[in-house]
A = this chain, B = another copy of it.
C-alpha cells in the first residue's frame, strides 16, 4: 500500500488501544493465499514506521526495541492492507511475505499441529536458518 495521508494514519492510531506495555497484537497473513504466517506485536512507533515505509516493522518484546522484519534475514513483509479489530487491540496485516516468515526458516510460524499422536510438524523449512542469520541461528 502507499503511505496513508496524515489524517488517515491519525484515524487508525486513534482506533488502536495499546495495552499496558504500549503494544497491540499483530497477525500477519499472506494476502493472496490466506495463510496465517505469524503473530507479533506493534508499538505506536512500529505502526508509524510500517505505514511510512510500506514494510512491516514490529516491536520485539524479547529485545525491547523495534524489529524491522527482514532487516537481517531479508525475509521482508510488504504491507498490502492493514485491518483493525472491533475493540482496537489487534491488527490484521495482509502482507506479501518474501520467503519464510519464521526464524526457523519455515514459511509460517504455525508449523506444528495437534494430531492423534501429539504435536506434528506439518511444514518443513524452505530456507536454511543458518543462511538467514549466520552463526546466530
| Contact of A35 with B by CB under 8 A | yes
Q: Which residue on chain B has the smallest CB distance to residue A29?
A: B36
How many copies make up the complex?
A: 2
Given contacts A27-B36, A39-B90, contact A11 B118 (CB under 8 A): yes
| CB-based contact A114/B39 at 8 Å | no
Q: Which of B35, B85, B122 lies in contact with A39, CB distance below 8 A?
A: B85
| CB-based contact A38/B111 at 8 Å | no
Given contacts A118-B11, A118-B12, contact A112 B90 (CB under 8 A): no
Size category of the binding interface on chain A: 35 or more
| Contact of A75 with B by CB under 8 A | no
Which B residues are in CB contact (< 8 Å) with A113?
A: 81-84
| CB-based contact B117/A8 at 8 Å | yes
Interface residues of A (CB under 8 A from B): 1, 4-5, 7-9, 11-12, 15, 25, 27, 29, 33-36, 38-39, 51, 81-87, 90, 92, 102-104, 106, 109-119, 122
What are 9 A-B contacts defined by CB distance under 8 Å?
A1-B114, A4-B114, A8-B115, A8-B116, A8-B117, A12-B114, A33-B34, A83-B122, A86-B104
